[in-house]
Structure 1
Amino acid sequence: MNTADRNVTAGRSERYFNQTVGFLTRHGISLFGTRILAVRGRTSGEWRTNPINLLTHEGARYLVAARGNTQWVRNIRVSGEAELRLGRSTEAITVTELPDEEKLPVVSAYFKRWGWEVARFFEDLPKKPSDDQLAKVLPGVPVFRIDS
């Protein structure tokens, strides 16, 4: 199998995985803390949803965007608010984006919990990166603390 075929297969696998996780979460089954994040589109105002891994670390909750500056990140930066959904339960939240110098312990905890899933988004990181390795990628990893 050539590289292009592997990339297509990996893309399909990722899409099916996300669809399955999203389906389960929408029906009230959380896998390792998953939620549906609903954020209003910054121009349309319509709700946009994505399955996310909700991290609880040292008594606070965080949203970590392992894929970088995605559409949900751009939308939540504009609005500062969103909803976390699990089944029929909906929680309105507000968020604060962390500066790079505060991200390391949160991103480290995130990788310890979900490195097996998200390491593939970082070509230069192993599944269990050191703090020094993580520090190099922090500028490209948006992190939001949930305030309410």
Structure 2
Amino acid sequence: MTQQVTERYLKSSRLENALVHRPIAWLATHGISLNGKSVLAVRGRSSGEWRTIPVNPLTLDGARYLVAPRGATQWVRNLRAAGSGELRANRRVEPFTAVELPDAEKPAVLRAYLERWGWEVGRFFDGVGAKSSDSELERIAPHHPVFRITDV
């Protein structure tokens, strides 16, 4: 018998979308990037229309990453299907391709991400923080998709 794995997804509320995500996205697309935020634009897997959401791109050891603190969100599912997207910040549009990391490669990226943005997204990591052990980061890795992004 095979076990079905259910991906974790912590959906944001309408209030959070209205009061946090939309204003931050508007600021980022109009030249005001708060703490390195960008707007991720990715084609919808069914509609083909552009979908946008604010994200925190991470640069680590010369590579760039997108981490999904809330799990397998809609943007994650769309990026998996499309394999590419755009980062929009300061009125610049940067096309990229994305490759999802296997769980074994995630702990170092998750640690760096939590060092940089743990104050903002830490509540989505089940009490695991930047100073947690490697085994704790390995434990939560399956719940947080991570993509390595490269320029087109």
Aligned partner of 2:78 among 72, 75, 78: 75
Q: How far apart in 1 are the matches of 2:118 and 2:58?
A: 13
2:111 counterpart residue number? 108
Q: How far apart in 1 are the matches of 2:129 and 2:139?
A: 15
Q: Alpha-carbon deviation of 1:25?
A: 0.4
Q: How far apart in 1 are the matches of 2:17 and 2:135?
A: 28
Q: Alpha-carbon deviation of 1:126?
A: 4.7
Letter in 2 for 1:45: G
Q: Which segments of 5 or more consecutive residues in structure 2 lack a partner in the other structure?
A: 1-12
Aligned partner of 1:125 among 124, 127, 139: 127
Letter in 2 for 1:137: I
TM-score, structure 2 normalization? 0.83
- TM-aligned CA distance change 1:135 to 1:40, over 3 Å: same
Q: How does 1:45-60 map to 2 (within 5 A)?
A: 45-60=48-63
SS of aligned partner of 1:147:
strand
Q: How far apart in 2 are the matches of 1:100 and 1:75?
A: 19
Q: Which segments of 5 or more consecutive residues in structure 1 lack a partner in the other structure?
A: 1-9
Q: Alpha-carbon deviation of 1:132?
A: 2.7
Letter in 2 for 1:67: R
Aligned residues: 138
Q: Alpha-carbon deviation of 1:147?
A: 2.0
Percentage of matched positions with identical amino acids: 54
Q: Alpha-carbon deviation of 1:128?
A: 4.3
TM-score, structure 1 normalization? 0.86
2:93 counterpart residue number? 90
